[in-house]
Structure 1
Amino acid sequence: MQQLQILSGSWEQFAQDAKLIREQVFIQEQQIAAEDEWDSEDAVSLHFIAYDQGQAIATARLLENNSIGRVAVLKEYRGQGVGRVLMQSIIQLAQQQGRSFVKLSSQVHALPFYASLGFIAEGEEYLDCGIPHMDMRLCF
């Protein structure tokens, strides 16, 4: 893995790259309906894209309510620490902005990954788009 570049900005800036990654990961791989994937939150979220040598390989968004969502890494880049670097960038920015916590809805298979970043599971498991999830929170 080369040196990753993480950029953040508006939907207008990053929609093209974010859409490509999310379509591959959520709509094609995980069979999530397109109408469930795209929502009005994109327009008001801060978007993050990880680039490897100019190629967009991962994305996530940070909402005004401190929720991190739509975290996705292209299949061929998984298991190489890309998601960790992306999440650390989001957490660092949230702290710099003076937020007191960040939260997310984790797919159950990803709970250990988020726990390794300091997130704590909260509440009961539930289904979102047919996939088991749990809420998690990281307080600063």
Structure 2
Amino acid sequence: MSRPEPAYTVRVAEDPADREACFAVRKQVFVAEQGVPEEIEYDAHDAGAVHVLAVRADGLPLGTGRLLHGEAAAAKTGGDPAVGSLGRLAVTREARGLGVGAALVRAVEDAARAHGLAAVDLHAQTHALGFYERLGYAAYGPEFPDAGIAHRAMRRPL
């Protein structure tokens, strides 16, 4: 028996409309739901990052994530140029539980491989550790606050 096709697609954000959709999801999840100040949600790294976007068949954005690589990632990953940084992973409330988050993580990993990276690092909100562990990430280092939310560093070799 074949599995049904997912009710969404995940792609690299290629144009300004895709990037705006990514930013809208981040605003909905991080700023509106979690109370992250808008002025720290968007940063200078957004311009050079690879953004991925999950959209419903009708075009409604469901989730996003980004990959930092090169110097931007090295600043977050301890200076290792072979390690990318996954961040800003956000899934809208109505899309949670549909596999969107895992699909976005895999899309970021695919982009990391395409950039020749050997591993992906991330800073996970502590409530999401189990989600990332199921995808093969291992936590390391102490818990730390980011935007007033507890996080742990995690890494997965590719």
Give the alignment's TM-score, normalised by structure 2.
0.83
Counterpart of 2:28 (choices 18, 24, 27) is 24
Aligned to 2:107: 89
Query: What percentage of residue pairs aligned between the two structures are identical?
Result: 36
Which has the higher Rg, Structure 1 or Structure 2? 2
Counterpart of 2:63 (choices 48, 58, 64) is 58
In structure 2, give the amino acid aligned to 1:41. H
Counterpart of 2:116 (choices 98, 115, 127) is 98
Q: Please state how far the C-alpha of 1:75 moved relative to its aligned partner.
A: 0.5
Give the alignment's TM-score, normalised by structure 1.
0.93
SS at match of 2:112: helix
Aligned to 1:123: 141
Aligned to 2:90: 72
In structure 1, give the amino acid aligned to 2:65. A
Q: How many residues align?
A: 140
Contact 2:126–2:151 (Cα < 8 Å) also in 1: yes
Q: Please state if 1:135 is matched with 2:153.
A: yes
Structure 1 Cα separation of the partners of residues 52 and 35 of structure 2: 23
Contact 2:10–2:54 (Cα < 8 Å) also in 1: yes
Structure 2 Cα separation of the partners of residues 96 and 22 of structure 1: 24
CA shift digits 1:79-115 (9 cap, x unpaired): 1111011111211232233211001000000000001
SS at match of 2:117: coil
Q: Please state how far the C-alpha of 1:10 moved relative to its aligned partner.
A: 5.2
SS at match of 2:105: helix
Q: Please state if 1:8 is matched with 2:12.
A: yes
In structure 1, give the amino acid aligned to 2:66. R
